[in-house]
Structure formats: structure tokens, C-alpha cells
Amino acid sequence: MTSKFLRSVLALAVFSMISAWAQTGGAATPSSPAAASASPAAPAAAPTAGTKVGTINVEAAVFGSNEGRRDGDALNKKLEPKQNELKGQKDELDSLQKQLDTQGDKLNDEARATLVKQIESKKKSFERAYQDFQEDGQNQGKEIFARILQKMAPTIVKYAQENGYQLIVDTSNQWPQSQVLWSGEGVDITKAIVDAYNVTSGVPAPAPTGTGAGKAPAPKPAGTAPAKPAAPASTTPNK
């Protein structure tokens, strides 16, 4: 999952990149993600009668493209060893907590205090390690998103211009986080953009893996780290 701050930064990057390409007709290189994030986003003009409006889920387009799927899968594989290590720490915490819950009233004060201290120490270590893991995953996911979007931006602008769109709205976020309350499937151009970008990028579709062979994986939100293991239970000893 992505934090509100990260989504705000990505939203500014989306607006700035697409606007830059639209204003220059795709002739100039889009600004860098850092510069794009620093540029304030002007409010979109309200559509007028006869305006052709399209929607695109930018996150789904980026991570649903062959390049996004390839790089997202590579990131997940890269993070997997650390995720397994965290799972091991969590399992150890659960085991110690279960020991405290079931045997705490049978232990003498010194043994119970030692066990509680051990749990608290391991819990703090686990939480610090997970926070670092989450931030690293989000930062690397954000880099993948920004890099691919920068290359995808001219494809979006070209498609909009060639098909007579005057306004393209990003639907990556759901209302009320987004200003879009509802939109029909008929105005969504996400798949068309993914198909067009796959051709221009030249990146082949990733080979299917596992039991879902032949089925494309669901797009992943940018900057998403693997799910956090359940938080350890309270270490308060039984009375």
C-alpha cells in the first residue's frame, strides 16, 4: 500500500509530465520526477459541452505494462529474502508471546520479567527492521513508477491528440481521494495506452509463472511494499 504523501508526490509528477508533453507536442524531453514533483499543479479546467473526456488509471497503466510487470516482479523477488527474514522474526515473537500467555502465571517474577523484556526487545527490533524494509520497497517502487511514466507520457499525449480528447483524467485514486466521483468504462483508455506503450517500449511480456500461467498479474500501486506481518500481541503478562 502507498502512503498519502507518496500518492500526492506521484500525482504531481503525473500532472507535470503529461502537461509538459502536451504543451510541447511531445517535442521536448519531460522534466525529471524531482522537478515535476516541485511544480505546483494548476486546477484542471471544467469540461465544456462537446469536450471529449477520457480517463486513465496511471498506476495500472505503468505497472500493467510489460515493462512495469517485469520491473515490479524483479523488485518483489529482490525484496523476498528480507520479507522472509521478517516473517521469521514475527514467528519467533509469536512463539514467545504464546509462551508468556500460557506459562506466565507459572513463572517466578524474575523469569517472567526476563521473558517480557526479551519480547519487548525483539518487538522493537522487528518494527525498526520492517519500517526500513517498507521505506526501501516504497522508494524503489516510486523510482520504477516515475521512470516508466516519464517514457509513457508521450504515448498518452499522442493517443489523446490522435483520438480527439481534450481532457484526460487520472483515476488511480478512488473518490473521495480523487475528484472523479464516477466514470463509465467507455471513456477509459488505460488498456489502449498499455497496448500502445508495449509496442513502443519493445519489452516482451514477462513469462507466466506458477499456477496462474497465461494470466497477467494484477497491476501493483506504485511504491507498494509487501504486506506487513500482523503486529505482535501485547507483552503484558497474565495476572
| 43-47, 139-143, 202-206: least confident range | 43-47
Asked whether the beta carbons of 51 and 166 are under 8 A apart, the reply is yes
Task: Supply the mean pLDDT for the chain.
Answer: 78
| 63-67, 97-101, 183-187, 215-219: least confident range | 215-219
Please state at what angle helix 109-162 crosses helix 190-201, rounded to 10 degrees: 90
Residue indicated by cell numbers 480527439: 164
Highest mean pLDDT (candidates 46-60, 146-160, 175-189)? 146-160
**Distance in angstroms (rounded) separating the CA atoms of residues 191 and 225:** 25
Residue 208 pLDDT = 79
Asked whether the beta carbons of 212 and 118 are under 8 A apart, the reply is no
- Global confidence as pTM: 0.67
Query: In this model, does residue 58 exceed pLDDT 50?
Result: yes
